[in-house]
Structure formats: C-alpha cells, structure tokens
Amino acid sequence: VTGPQVTPGFGPDGHAELGALAELDESLLEETQTRQLDVHLQTCVDCRDQLGRIRATRALLSALPAEPMPTDVVRRIDAALTDAMQTATVLPATKRRRWFTSPAFAGVAAAVAAVGLASALIVSRDNGSGGSNAEKGGAANTSSTPQHAAGLAAPQNTVKQWQTGANYTPSNISVLVPGILAGTPTPVPSPAGEDASPNTFSGTNTKSAATESYTREQLRSLPNLIACAKILNAGDAVQPLAVDFANFKGKPATIVVIPTHDDPAHVDVWIIQTTCSNDSLMPVYRVPRPS
C-alpha cells in the first residue's frame, strides 16, 4: 500500500513547505522544483503569506538593535587581557634597555664585570650518570659548587643551571620560570640523545670579551653566561638568576633569567635561540618574580 504521491517541497495538504519556501527565496532549489513552487505561489494566497513571513523574519533579524558590548563585559575582557599580558609580556623594542644608552656602557670592560661576577656561587644540577632528566626533574641538587675562589665583590646569589628539556612558549613561561628559580622545575621527558648537560659550569671564558656574541651552547660557560647577561641588561653587569638549556616553541633555546632593571617584582626571561649578542633580536618576556 502506498500513500498519496507528495511532490518534493510540498506537504500532504498540498501547500508548500516552509523550508522549501525559504530555500526558494535563497535560490537553492533545482529548476524544476523552483518552477513548481512559482506556479503554486501564483494561485495560493496562504503560501504567499508564508513566503512573506520568511521575508518578514529576515526584516526582524536585521532590525535587531545594534547594542554595543556592555561596559561590565568590556571591563571583564580588559582585565582578562591584562592578566594574559602580565602572565608573559613580550617586551616591545622601545621598552628594552638599550646598550648604547646605558651609563654603564662607557668605560666598563665586559671582561672586568665577567670576572667579578664569575665568583658567584653556582648551584648546578647534577644529572648523574644514569636516569633521565625527567626522573630527576623535580629534585634539586643539594650540593653547591664554588666555581671561583677569588671573590671580587662576589654576589651572594646563585645561578641555577638546568637542562629541563621543557618546551617554553609565551603562554607557559610564567609557569615554568618560577620552577627553575625555586629549584623545582616542571619535569618533562628528556628527548633521546639530549642528555648531555654539563653538571657544572665550565670555568673559563671561551670567548674574548671583544667579540660580545655567544652562541646558546657557549652559555654553558659561566663567564660567557655572565657576559651575556650583561649584554641583556643593556651593558650593566647583572647576576643571572637561572639558565635552562631547553626549547622555545619547539626549537632548542637557552633560557636566561635576569632581574628586571629597577623592578624587584619581576624578572626578565630572555630566549637565546641563536646567539646572545648586542645586535641579535632576542625575544624577552617579563614575568612576576616568585616571592
């Protein structure tokens, strides 16, 4: 038993379906169906009314008032953006301290500062001979190794050296940096063959002071690291707080953390992807200094 034949686009009552009329209005129907509906509309007042209803709906939609975003939502989003910016602020070039504008630039030889700061007490992770970084990632080495005995105004701070293998990104910097500053870095799996972190800084400057350019690998040497930090600090000698031989956005990078100039509440996190030098463009992020 078959039911009554129903033409596509028409209901059992013989009237055009609302959906078909809407598609007709949008010129979406096949030619045959379009013709059938056009013929029907010429004689059916009800269906013409329905088509008019669809068009009136469009008019109602376009007449909705164009209200702006409410002020409470504006404030809320503004605050969220501020949070996002403070979480890891990319320092614009204009706000970075410039080497040549620093009063410390004139007359201060980089090597002098490097020697002076090289007497810092270094806390270095001991990866040991076995096990991965991941297994030990959360365990700070308790031993401290004085690298230089000749203390020329040696700061009492320490430089923490890590090879976490972490993948730093703009959105996780503010999470990862407190870990390496506090000695509890976020454990991450160590990439295969990437376990050759030196346990301590080597003690000699492998570059001449005049070169003023250090590859990210050369920063494994403490004097080089300190010379690099001085470059990052616009020529003022500064004690780096931590260094992590890791990755940034999936590519190898050395992360150097130094105090923010004149702002004890923050630290600057420099990303050394190729070289640390006065003329290379290195990303830098400002994050809150953990208390």
1-9 contacts, C-beta under 8 A, 24 or more apart: 7/36, 8/33, 9/33, 9/36, 9/37
Question: How do beta strands 89-90 and 284-288 pair?
Answer: antiparallel
Which DSSP state fits 172? T
Task: Tell me the C-alpha distance between 154 and 224, whole Å.
Answer: 17
Query: Hey, which residues between 7 and 66 contact another protein (CB under 8 A)?
Result: 11, 13, 15, 17-19, 21-23, 25-28, 46, 49-50, 52-54, 56-58, 60-62, 64-66
Query: Binding string, 95-134, against another protein, x = CB under 8 A?
Result: x---------------------------------------
Q: Which of 14, 32, 38, 73 binds another protein (CB under 8 A)?
A: 73
Residue 139 within binding range of another protein, rule CB under 8 A: no
Using alpha carbons, list the distances in angstroms from residue 18 to 11, 48, 138. Answer: 9, 11, 65
Q: Which of 89, 119, 197, 218 binds another protein (CB under 8 A)?
A: 89
Considering the complex, what minimum distance in angstroms separates the CB of residue 11 from another protein? 4
Task: Tell me the C-alpha distance between 253 and 5, whole Å.
Answer: 72
Q: Which of 84, 112, 139, 182 binds another protein (CB under 8 A)?
A: 84
Task: Tell me the C-alpha distance between 156 and 154, whole Å.
Answer: 6
- Interface with another protein by CB under 8 A: which residues? 11, 13, 15, 17-19, 21-23, 25-28, 46, 49-50, 52-54, 56-58, 60-62, 64-71, 73-74, 76-78, 80-81, 84-85, 89-93, 95, 170-171
